Amino acid sequence: MGILIILFLSINLPNKRLYIPLLIFLLLLSLIALFLNDKGKYKSSLTLTISIFLIGVWIPIYIDAYLTSNDLIPFVYLSLAIYMSAYFLTARITIFITVVQIIFLVYLIKKNPYLYVQNWISLIVFIVFIALISIINSIIRNRQIFIIDSQKEKLYWQARKDPLTGIYNRLFMEEFINDEFPNFINEKKDFGLIIIDIDDFKSINDTFGHFLGDQVIKQICNLILSKIRLTDVFCRLGGDEFILIAPNCSPKNLLLIAENLREAINKLDLQYEEYNINNITVSIGVANINEKICDWEDLLRLADRALYKAKKNGRNKVYAELD
C-alpha cells in the first residue's frame, strides 16, 4: 500500500484515478485482517494479508502495464508474498502462489510485446529461487519449532511426574486442585480423597535394601494404576505416601475403592532374585467433600486425620472421614 501511495503522489499516470478505489479497497482488507487477528483467526488473517500483497502488486501492473517497460522492480515485490506464504502457511500453498504468479507473468509478457526486451527469464528464475529458499527455510524453521515444542512438552511432564514411578507428583496435584477443586465446591459435586501410606516401609528398606524398596513402590503404584478409573488422579506425595483424587465418586464407592486397594496390595507377592517380599500392608485415610469443607486444605486435613487413625489402630486398615 505504501508503494501505491508513492506512485499515486509522485508519478503522472494516465489511470491515476483508479488508484484511489484500489487504495480504499486494500485499506478495508487490511482492517479486516487486523480484526480477524484480534479474534484469534490467525490463519484467515495471514491469508488475507498475503492476498493484499498480491493485489497491491498485480492490479497496478494491469492498470498501467507500461510501468514495467523499463523497470522490473515492481515484480520483485511478488517475492514478499511468496516469503510470507512460506513463513506462515504451508509449502503446498506457497508452491501454488508461486505457480499462479509465474502464469500471470508469462501472460502479461505475451500480452505486451514491448516487455520482450526485458530479461524476464531471469525474473522468473529469481521468483522460483525465492520460492525454493523460502520453502526450505520454512521447513527448517518448522522442524526447529517442532523440536523445541517437543522438548518443552518433555520438560513440562518431567517436572510433573515422579521419576521413579512415572505417576504424577505434588506439583501436578497442586495444579490440578487449583484448576478443578473450586468447581466441585461450587457445584456441590462429590470429590473424594484417598491417602495411602505403606506400613513400616523403613523395615523393607533396612531388610532388602533401597533398590528393592524402590521396586516395591513401583509395583504398588502399577497395581493401583490398574485398578482406578481414568478420571482419577494418582500422585506420589513423597517417600512411601501417595494420594488418590477421585472426582465424581460417591462416599460409598470411595470406601469400596480404598478397601479393594488395601486388599490387593496385601496380596502382592514380589519376587526379586533370591528375595521374596510379601504381606505388604498399607494404611488408608479417606475423605469426601461435605458441607463443612470450604477449601482443599480442609479436605486434605480430614483425609490425613483418617490416615492417622488407621495407623494408630493397628495399620492395614481403612478409616474414613465422610459426610
Q: Over its length of 323 residues, how does the chain's per-residue pLDDT go in tens digits? A: 544 444 444 445 555 666 677 778 878 888 888 888 888 887 788 778 777 777 777 777 776 665 555 556 666 777 777 877 777 777 888 888 888 888 887 877 777 766 666 667 777 777 788 888 888 887 887 788 888 888 888 888 888 999 999 999 999 999 999 988 888 888 888 889 999 999 989 888 888 888 889 999 999 999 999 999 999 999 998 889 999 999 998 889 999 999 999 999 999 888 877 788 888 999 999 998 877 777 888 889 999 999 999 999 889 999 987 76
CB 115 within 8 A of CB 69: yes
Instruction: Tell me whether residue 163 is in a domain.
Output: no
**Pair 206, 309 in one domain:** yes
Q: According to the model, what pLDDT value does residue 10 have?
A: 44
Per-residue confidence (pLDDT) for residue 254, from 0 to 100: 92
Residues 140 and 204 in one domain: no
pLDDT of residue 255: 93
Do 119 and 189 share a structural domain?
Answer: no
How confident is the model at residue 121, as a pLDDT? 74
115 & 235 share domain: no
Q: Which of 156, 183, 218 is the last residue of a domain?
A: 156
Instruction: Give residue 6's pLDDT.
Output: 46
> pLDDT value at position 262?
93
pLDDT of res. 224: 94
165 in any annotated domain: no
Q: What are phi and psi of 79, to 5 degrees?
A: -65, -25
Could you give the CA distance from residue 49 to residue 72 in angstroms, rounded to a whole number?
Answer: 23
* Per-residue pLDDT at 245: 94
| Same-domain pairing of 150 and 194 | no
Does the CA dihedral 40-44-46-49 come out positive or negative?
negative
Query: According to the model, what pLDDT value does residue 190 have?
Result: 87
Residue 162 lies in a domain: no
Report the CATH number that the domain containing residue 249 is assigned in CATH.
3.30.70.270
Q: Which long-range contacts (CB under 8 A, 24 or more apart) does 224-232 make?
A: 224/196, 224/261, 224/265, 225/167, 227/257, 227/260, 227/261, 227/264, 228/257
Q: Which DSSP string do the residues of 171-211 spell out, in sequence order?
A: HHHHHHHHHHHHHHHHHT--EEEEEEEETTHHHHHHHH-HH
Q: Are 187 and 273 found together in one domain?
A: yes
Q: Which of 132, 156, 180 is the last residue of a domain?
A: 156
**pLDDT at residue 146, rounded to an integer:** 85
Asked whether residue 29 is domain-assigned, the answer is yes
Residue 308 belongs to a domain: yes
> Which of 129, 156, 183 is at the close of a domain?
156
Say what the pLDDT of residue 12 is.
53
pLDDT given at position 310: 92
Kind and range of the H or E element at 235? Answer: strand 233-238
Whether 275 is covered by a domain: the verdict is: yes
Q: Do both 286 and 206 map to the same domain?
A: yes
Count how many domains the chain has.
2
Asked if residue 202 and residue 300 are part of one domain, the reply reads: yes
Res 5: pLDDT: 47
Same domain as 257, residue 187: yes
Instruction: Assess if residue 91 is contained within a domain.
Output: yes
What is the structure's pLDDT at 167? Answer: 93
Q: Is the pTM of this model over 0.85?
A: no
Say yes or no: 16 and 54 in one domain: yes
- Do 234 and 129 share a domain, yes or no? no
Structural domain harbouring 55? 2-156
Does 291 lie in the same domain as 245?
Answer: yes
188 belongs to a structural domain: yes
